Amino acid sequence: MSTHELYTIPAELSTWNVGMAGHARFTWEYDDGRDRMLALYQKGKDKQWDSAKRIDWGLEVDPYDVLGIPDETIAIYDSPLWHRMDEKARKDVRLHGAAWQFSQFLHGEQGAMICSARIVESVPDLDSKFYAATQTMDEARHAETYARFLQEKVGMAYPINEHLKSLLDATLTDSRWDMPYLGMQVLIEGLALAAFGVMRDITTKPLPKQILAYVMQDEARHVAFGRMALRDYYRGLTDAERREREDFVIEGCWLMRDRLRGREQWEAQGLSRAETDEAMRCVDESRYLQMFRSLLFSRIVPCVKDIGLWSPRLQQAYLDMGVLDMAGQNLDTLMRQDEEIAEKLDALRFAEEEAERHREVAETIEMASAD
Of all residues in the chain, the percent with pLDDT exceeding 90 is 56
10: left (phi over 0), alpha (psi -120 to 50) or beta: beta
Instruction: Convert the pLDDT of each residue in 236-260 to its tens digit.
Output: 999 999 999 999 999 989 887 766 6
CA dihedral 156, 162, 168, 170 (to 10 degrees): 170
Task: Quote the CA–CA distance of 192 and 143 in Å, as a whole number.
Answer: 13
Distance from CA of residue 51 to its chain's centroid? 16
Mean of pLDDT over the chain? 88
Query: Lowest-confidence range among 6-10, 17-21, 123-127, 164-168?
Result: 17-21
Rounded to two decimals, the pTM is 0.86
**Residue of 160, 169, 162 lying closest to 14 (CA atoms):** 160
How confident is the model at residue 358, as a pLDDT?
57
- Residues recorded for the chain: 371
Summarize the confidence of residues 16-42 as an average pLDDT.
77
pLDDT digits (tens, 9 = 90+) for 92-109: 999 999 999 999 999 999
Q: Which residues face 7 on adjacent strands? A: 157
Q: Give pLDDT, residue 316.
A: 96
Cα–Cα distance measured from residue 44 to residue 89, given in angstroms and rounded to the nearest whole number? 44
pLDDT (average), residues 61-71: 96
pLDDT tens-digit map of 256-289? 776 667 899 999 999 999 999 999 999 989 988 8
Inter-residue long-range contacts of 288-294, CB under 8 Å, 24+ positions, other chains counted: 288/72, 288/73, 288/75, 289/75, 289/260, 290/322, 292/198, 292/260, 293/257, 293/260, 293/322, 293/323, 294/322, 294/323, 294/326
Task: Report the pLDDT value the prediction gives residue 221, as an integer from 0 to 100.
Answer: 87
Domains of the chain as residue ranges with CATH? 33-370 (1.10.620.20)
Report yes or no: 248 and 237 within 8 Å, Cβ to Cβ.
no
Q: How many beta carbons lie within 10 A of that of residue 321, not counting itself? A: 18
pLDDT, average across residues 220-227:
85
